[in-house]
Homo-oligomer: A and B are copies of this chain.
Amino acid sequence: MGLQDAIVKPHERLSAALTGEMDEVNTLIRARMASKHAPRIPEVTAHLVEAGGKRLRPMLTLAAAKMCGYTGPYHVHLAATVEFIHTATLLHDDVVDESGQRRGRPTANLLWDNKSSVLVGDYLFARSFQLMVETGNMRVLDILANAAATIAEGEVLQLTAAQDLATDESIYLQVVRGKTAALFSAAMEVGGVIADQPADQVQALFDYGDALGVSFQIVDDLLDYGGDASATGKNVGDDFRERKLTLPVIKAVAKADAQERAFWSRTIEKGQQNDGDLETALALLAKHGAMDATRQDALDWAEKAKAALRRLPDSDIRQMLLDLADYVVARVS
């Protein structure tokens, strides 16, 4: 998530431009995450949805709606919907598999958290559907229901693809579209749909969100092999240690000789890692230009995002969203 530091300036400008609406979103989120019957729910979600979070996804919805001249009130519901879906997926991502015990907490605690994470995530999903139903707009319901299915499908695909060297760039892209880009694109799209925009304008909003989301995730994966821990909050090599087959590795595997392939198979597929393996992995990424090629992909997706947005009329908000795409990739360019 350290990537978000890189976009702080356009994010802050967007936040300032949307301050009244964001206050309404935060109020709605707090009201809807409460539970009279189950006080554990706000306990579990508080640290995830407390005011002061970046709120990137709901801001996209508010920005899209404002750019399209919508004056309300349902952009607020949709923005809160998007944030609830995001928070629910974060909670479900927290469900540990064995490699997740890296955090060193006691197993009993991990498992208790597990059950809470699943059920509170379900509650937030249900709350998100209630919020979107309140808009009374069938098209946004359709978009968000489809996005939810795409997200879950991408997460399941990642389960099987993450540690399989046969995973190629097209599968990686499917996973990324699911786990990250689907919610970015839906967040933008519903902002245009609620404002009753024509199909080509709505498509441009979707395309911006899609490309921004892909770029965002590629940058995240890239920083994992070359970021600054103090800035990113992650340590170099976390994805390697967790045996995640991300884009830099996919590119290096594609160019690997037999010996290198055996290395990736042992460390990623079989998970047999020894001291020095991360250094070897970094050397192989450098040898095959995998970091540079991944960086170029991120830049290309950011350009696609900006090109999509330029199909819409110019405005202050549009400029901030263009700048946002640049900021997403600023840390790796």
* Interface of A toward B, CB cutoff 8 Å: 35, 37-41, 89, 92, 95-98, 107-108, 111-112, 114-116, 118-120, 122-123, 125-127, 129-130, 133, 136, 138, 141-142, 145-146, 148-149, 151-157, 159-160, 174, 178
For the complex formed by this chain, how many copies does it contain in all? Answer: 2
In the complex, how many angstroms separate the beta carbon of A289 from the nearest chain B beta carbon? 29
Contacts of A148 in B (CB 8 A): 122, 125-126, 129
Q: Are B123 and A96 in contact (CB under 8 A)?
A: no
Out of B41, B95, B122, B136, which one reaches A125, CB within 8 Å? Answer: B122
Q: Are B119 and A133 in contact (CB under 8 A)?
A: no
In the complex, how many angstroms separate the beta carbon of A221 from the nearest chain B beta carbon? 19
Q: Are B114 and A156 in contact (CB under 8 A)?
A: no
In the complex, which residue of chain B has the Cβ closest to the Cβ of A130?
B145
Q: How far is the CA of A130 from the CA of B141 in the complex (A)?
A: 8
Q: Are A98 and B107 in contact (CB under 8 A)?
A: yes
Q: How far is the CA of A116 from the CA of B142 in the complex (A)?
A: 25
Q: Are B97 and A118 in contact (CB under 8 A)?
A: no
Q: Main secondary structure on chain A at its contact with chain B?
A: helix
Q: Are B95 and A115 in contact (CB under 8 A)?
A: yes
Q: Are B38 and A156 in contact (CB under 8 A)?
A: yes
Contacts of A35 in B (CB 8 A): 153, 156
> Could you list 22 examples of A-B contacts with CB < 8 Å?
A37-B178, A38-B153, A38-B160, A39-B160, A89-B122, A92-B119, A95-B114, A96-B114, A97-B111, A97-B112, A97-B114, A114-B114, A115-B159, A116-B159, A118-B118, A119-B155, A122-B125, A127-B149, A130-B142, A133-B138, A133-B141, A136-B138
In the complex, how many angstroms separate the beta carbon of A259 from the nearest chain B beta carbon? 29
Q: Are A119 and B159 in contact (CB under 8 A)?
A: yes
Q: Given A108-B98, A136-B138, A119 and B156 touching (CB < 8 A)?
A: yes
Q: How far is the CA of A35 from the CA of B136 in the complex (A)?
A: 29
Out of B107, B146, B153, which one reaches A37, CB within 8 Å? Answer: B153
Q: Are B114 and A126 in contact (CB under 8 A)?
A: no
Contacts of A120 in B (CB 8 A): 152, 156
Q: Which 6 pairs of residues, A with B, have the shortest CB-CB distance?
A: A126-B148, A123-B152, A126-B149, A122-B152, A38-B156, A129-B145
Q: Are B123 and A153 in contact (CB under 8 A)?
A: yes
In the complex, how many angstroms separate the beta carbon of A136 from the nearest chain B beta carbon? 6
In the complex, how many angstroms separate the beta carbon of A212 from the nearest chain B beta carbon? 22
In the complex, which residue of chain B has the Cβ closest to the Cβ of A85?
B126
Q: How far is the CA of A40 from the CA of B141 in the complex (A)?
A: 27
Q: How far is the CA of A118 from the CA of B158 in the complex (A)?
A: 13
Contacts of A136 in B (CB 8 A): 138
Q: Are A37 and B152 in contact (CB under 8 A)?
A: no
Out of B39, B97, B118, B155, which one reaches A92, CB within 8 Å? Answer: B118
In the complex, which residue of chain B has the Cβ closest to the Cβ of A171?
B37
Contacts of A107 in B (CB 8 A): 98
Out of B92, B97, B123, B138, which one reaches A149, CB within 8 Å? Answer: B123
In the complex, how many angstroms separate the beta carbon of A49 from the nearest chain B beta carbon? 16
Contacts of A122 in B (CB 8 A): 89, 92, 125, 148, 151-152, 155
